[in-house]
Structures are given as structure tokens and as C-alpha cells.
């Protein structure tokens, strides 16, 4: 299933979402200018290499270790191919603007980066000895999706289904819920095997599933769901009915 757009208007310009998309595209264009050896060197330097990260955790503080920890951030802006980058940016374009609209620019900026770091740590946890670089924005974007599914479960997402070559509108709860279950299923199936995104690697399912869960938790902690009921049509109808009942009638206002 491929999302095309959601029926969820925003009230502010999502500058941070646009900036993240622009930065990812610029970095990918730079990657495209590199030869295969130089690209591999870039990934080994700025992507998360679980084996190296494990070593840094085991040997304590120091400049080399701090730079290794920095890959938890830099890896969020690297991609292994056009489809990898394009798919991630499509999801960020569709779901990121609404989460930013609700959280505000500063909170969303921090939320996105923290989700990406925690997602990478989830992937590292299940494959701490892997020498394959793990990279991509998908962990951070999974966090955005985890927040979105609880904030806007009833919003319709226009979705293209290739097997039927047709587009349908389905609730975000169904679309994103199916996506999460799929990632968790493949994550469990990949235990004991390499599941890193990178040259010669596969898909970081645990980063996706972990980012999704952490996004929901961080969204709650940041107050994203405090007024979620106000976006629910049934809540609006109930509220309207309560307001109508609370209004004094003309007879009650008449003089005695």
C-alpha cells in the first residue's frame, strides 16, 4: 500500500518538515555524486555501525566515542538509494506536517530527532555485533507515524493498492496499524539475521517498530493527545448537543 495524501488540513506552515525533507534530498544528491568506494566510506563514517557503537559503549568516554554516538543523528539523513529516500520523504510529507502542526515547530524538531536516535538504538540492540551500516530517516518517520495514529486515528488516507491498481480512502488507524504489525512481524522473523539498512544489508524492521512505539510515547509526554477528542467528529456532535441543552430557552428568560 502506498499513501498518496491524507484528508487532514493544517493551520500552520510546517517549516521543520520541509527543512528535514530538503536536507535529506540535498544529502542524497551529494551521495549520488560519489563513487562506490567513497559512498561506502561515507556510510561507514556517518551511518550507525552497530559493532563500532557497541565498542564505544564498552570503552567509555572520549572524542572518538562521542563522534560515534553522533552517527545516531547523522544516520537519519543518509539513504541507500532513490527508492529508500523517496519512500521515506513521501511518508514524512504526508504525516509529518500534521504532527508538527499540533506539536509546534520546536517540539517537533526535537521529537523527530529523538525518535530517530531511539529507533537506531532499537536496531542496535537486536544486532549489536553487526558490521553493516544502518541508516535512513525511516526510524524517525516511524515515530511520526506512531504519534499520528493515536492523534488522528479516524483521518482518511488516500492509498494506492498496486495489486488492484486502485486507490481507496482508509482510516489512518487501519493504514498505519497494518504498517506497524508488518514491521513487527518481519522484525521477529529477522531475529538472528542481519536487518540493517545499508550497502549489502536489508531492512531495519526493529528501528521501524521501535520508532513507532517511541513516537507514540513521546507524543503522549509532549501533550500531543491532550485535546485529541476535539478532532473526533463524534465528540464534536456530542459537544454541540451539550451546548444546545445548556442554552436557556426563551420561556426561561421571560419576565415574571
Q: What pLDDT does 65 receive? A: 55
Residue 198 Ramachandran class (φ > 0 left, ψ -120 to 50 alpha, else beta) = left
Residue 52, φ and ψ in degrees, nearest 5: -70, -40
Split at pLDDT 50, 70, 90, the class of 246 is very low
Mean residue pLDDT across the chain: 82
Nearest-CA neighbor of 89 among 163, 3, 13, 149? 3
The number of residues in the chain equals 256
Superfamily of domain 2-246: Rhomboid-like (1.20.1540.10)
Residue 236 has pLDDT above 50, yes or no: no
Q: Give the side-chain half-sphere CA count within 13 A for 66.
A: 3
Distance of CA 122 to the CA centre of its chain: 14
Nearest-CA neighbor of 219 among 140, 101, 118, 108? 108
Q: What pLDDT does 230 receive? A: 54
Question: Of all helices (H) and strands (E), which one includes residue 184?
Answer: helix 172-189
Which strands, in side-by-side order, build the sheet including 2-6? 2-6, 156-161, 166-171
Residue 207 Cα distances to 15, 16, 254, angstroms: 25, 22, 66
Q: Is 207 within 8 Å of 134 (Cβ atoms)?
A: yes
Residue 134 has pLDDT above 70, yes or no: yes
pLDDT, tens digit (0-9, with 9 covering 90-100), for 69-89: 889 999 999 998 999 999 999
Nearest-CA neighbor of 169 among 155, 156, 150, 182? 156
Split at pLDDT 50, 70, 90, the class of 55 is confident
Query: What's the whole-number mean pLDDT along residues 84-95?
Result: 94
Q: Please, what sign has the CA dihedral across residues 127, 128, 131, 133? A: positive
Helices first, then strands: H and E counts in the chain: 11, 3
Q: Mean pLDDT: which of 3-17, 58-72, 182-196, 199-213 is highest?
A: 3-17
Nearest-CA neighbor of 208 among 121, 95, 119? 119
Domain ranges of the chain: 2-246
* Angstrom distance (rounded) from CA 102 to CA 224: 7
Q: Give the side-chain half-sphere CA count within 13 A for 226.
A: 7
List Cβ neighbours of 224 (8 Å cut-off, separation of 6 or more). 99, 102, 103, 147, 150, 151
User: Which 8-state DSSP code applies to residue 248?
Assistant: P
Residue 92 Cα distances to 16, 49, 96, 128, 239, angstroms: 11, 24, 5, 28, 33
Amino acid at each position: 500500500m502506498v499513501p498518496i495524501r491524507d484528508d487532514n488540513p493544517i493551520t500552520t506552515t510546517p517549516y521543520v518538515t520541509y527543512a528535514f525533507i530538503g536536507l535529506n534530498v540535498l544529502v542524497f544528491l551529494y551521495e549520488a555524486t560519489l563513487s562506490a568506494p567513497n559512498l561506502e566510506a561515507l556510510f561507514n563514517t556517518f551511518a550507525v555501525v552497530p559493532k563500532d557503537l557497541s565498542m564505544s559503549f564498552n570503552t567509555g568516554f572520549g572524542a572518538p566515542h562521542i563522534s560515534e554516538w553522533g552517527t545516531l543523528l547523522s544516520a537519519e539523513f543518509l539513504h541507500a538509494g532513490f527508492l529508500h529516500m523517496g519512500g521515506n520523504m513521501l511518508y514524512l510529507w504526508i504525516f509529518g506536517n500534521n504532527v508538527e502542526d499540533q506539536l509546534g515547530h520546536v517540539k517537533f524538531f526535537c521529537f523527530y530527532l529523538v525518535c530517530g536516535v531511539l529507533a537506531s538504538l532499537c536496531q542496535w540492540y537486536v544486532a549489536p555485533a553487526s558490521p553493516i551500516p544502518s541508516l535512513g530517516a525511516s526510524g524517525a518517520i516511524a515515530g511520526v507515524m506512531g504519534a499520528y495514529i493515536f492523534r488522528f486515528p479516524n483521518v482518511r488516507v488516500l492509498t494506492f493498492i498496486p495489486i488492484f491498481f486502485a486507490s481507496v480512502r482508509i482510516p489512518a488507524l487501519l493504514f498505519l496499524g497494518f504498517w506497524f504489525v508488518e514491521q513487527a512481524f518481519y522484525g521477529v522473523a529477522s531475529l538472528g539475521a542481519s536487518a540493517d539498512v545499508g550497502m549489502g544489508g536489508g531492512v531495519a524492521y526493529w528501528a521501524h517498530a521501535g520508532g513507532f512505539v517511541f513516537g507514540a510515547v513521546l507524543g503522549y509526554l509532549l501533550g500531543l493527545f491532550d485535546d485529541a477528542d476535539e478532532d473526533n467528529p463524534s465528540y464534536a456532535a456530542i459537544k454541540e448537543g451539550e451546548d444546545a441543552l445548556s442554552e436557556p430557552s426563551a420561556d426561561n428568560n421571560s419576565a415574571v
